Amino acid sequence: MHIRPLALLALAALAFQPATSIAQPATTPQPRACPTEVPAGSACHTGEDGLGGFYWIALPANWKPETGVLVMHAHGGPADTGPATLARGEEDLKRWAVTVKAGYAWAGATYRRGGFGVTMAAEDTERVRRIFVKHFGPPRRTILHGQSYGGSVAAKGAELYAMVDGPTGPVKGPYDGMLLTSGMLGGGTRAYDFRIDLRVVYQYVCKNHPKADEAQYPLWQGLPLDAKLSRAELAARVDECTGVRKPAAQRTEQQKTNMANIVNVIKIPERSLIAHLNWATWLFRDLTQLRLGNRNPFGNANVQYKGSTDDAALNAGVLRYTADPAAVAELAKDSDPQGKVNMPVLSLHAVNDPTAFVELESTYRETLDRAGKGPLLVQTFSDESEHSYLSDPQYPALFTALLNWIDKNDKPTPQSVAALCKGYEAGYGDTCKLLPDYRSAPLASRVAPR
């Protein structure tokens, strides 16, 4: 049956939303024992948001709205493609208890479901903010903090709620500033290009995802919906081909060559190979088949791959795909930032982040520059090789710098943030690893342009 392009767009728009019933009233926050990671004397609450999601709220001892700061947290992912769980919110609070230690209230939504949906997640985060204000009062300042995929969520939320309806017309939205850490800041149409590259290069080298005797499918689908492949089975296949779970000295010569050909072309560290393949399998399945009506937003038709032992053979033999323009448009609408922010934005990224390439910061910087909002962005970088969590004292330094910018119009520099950070080392038991003079390279230096 032929479906008109506009109808396809309508179907895809619906697909980004969960198949849930009409929203119900959110539940009143209920007191709950705080995780042990949260400072003693804090008060924690949980509840349901009325759309299928859950939330956690943590208030430091003696926190008062008239003087206090609320940090609205947008969590990472979206590797979990199942239903929302309260446990997910608890994990986020444990990881970001440093925010409460710094004296700020913390609130986080689980999002109403797993899987891809940036605009949905931004709406869910704002819904929890409103729950907080209703029950605990409007805080003096509200900071939007996005981590990893949550960086994309926060960037979208900052634009969606830059202006809101007031009694006599539009007024400035509820967020006073935004902190982006380890952010996936290229939007869905750019941040995941390297993962389609990974799928095709991996398949050219290893030929086992799928195997020759398994049902064949376009790799942009991630995995057929009825496939039974488990993450453990995929990891075993990767190990068989590359020896990824063995020390390099214990790998065969063929495994060493296979590994080098994959990681040198895709420019990822060995330790993140299985994780990226997981995302390029199960997340791609969710995104393309459940959210985009089985349409492909990823293209590599003209990409020239470099870094293997035989680039000519690789480029001649690798699978090629052409993106569906309607799928690209819908993914862009859901997830790509436009730079339409009206608040100070501060970011932190490890220069050797194995999950979200540091070069994505350049993409976001270019986006704000094109929108004429470049002066609202200050980017900082650290000499670290992690993604999910960086050195503790860096976070209170970033919050302090952002609040000084908001309250005193004291715009920070990477150098001033680094200086601030030193003052937090003793109290947070770690060292600052900021690199004040670093500037991220263009994304095209890391991911083959298309």
Strands (E), 260-395: 345-350, 377-382
Residue pLDDT, tens place only, 374-391: 999 999 999 999 999 999
Q: Is the dihedral of CA 305, 308, 313, 318 positive or negative?
A: negative
- The average pLDDT across 176-198 equals 97
- Residue 13: predicted pLDDT: 44
**What percent of the chain clears pLDDT 90, i.e. is strictly above it?**
93
Higher pLDDT, 269 or 80: 269
Q: Which residues pair with 83 in a beta bridge?
A: 113
Alpha-carbon dihedral 205, 208, 214, 217, rounded to 10 degrees: -50
Residues 6+ apart with CB under 8 A from 440: 349, 351, 358, 359, 360, 361, 362, 365, 379, 381
Q: pLDDT-based confidence at 159, cuts 50/70/90? A: very high
Burial bucket for residue 75 (CB in 10 Å: 0-12, 13-18, 19+): buried
Q: How far apart are CA 111 and CA 125, in angstroms?
A: 7
Strands (E), 154-307: 163-166, 169-172, 177-181
**Mean per-residue pLDDT over the chain, rounded:** 94
C-alpha to C-alpha distances, 213 to 84, 188, 208, 240, 431, nearest whole angstrom = 36, 32, 9, 17, 52
Q: How much is the CA Rg of the chain, to the nearest whole Å? A: 22
Domain layout of the chain by residue ranges: 8-188+335-445, 189-332
Q: Is the pTM of this model over 0.85?
A: yes
- Residue 82: predicted pLDDT: 83
Query: Among all chains, which residue has been given the structure tokens 């209170």?
Result: 396
- Residue 3: predicted pLDDT: 34
- The average pLDDT across 199-223 equals 98
Residue pLDDT, tens place only, 295-304: 999 999 999 9
Contact between residue 97 and residue 38 where contact means Cβ atoms under 8 Å apart: yes
- The average pLDDT across 307-326 equals 98
DSSP string spanning 78-130? ----SB--HHHHHHHHHHTHHHHHTT-EEEEE--SBSSS-HHHHHHHHHHHHH
Residue 10 has pLDDT above 80, yes or no: no
Residue 19 has pLDDT above 80, yes or no: no
Residue 4 has pLDDT above 90, yes or no: no
Residue 435 has pLDDT above 80, yes or no: yes
For residue 201 the two structure tokens come to: 């290069």
CATH of domain 8-188+335-445: 3.40.50.1820
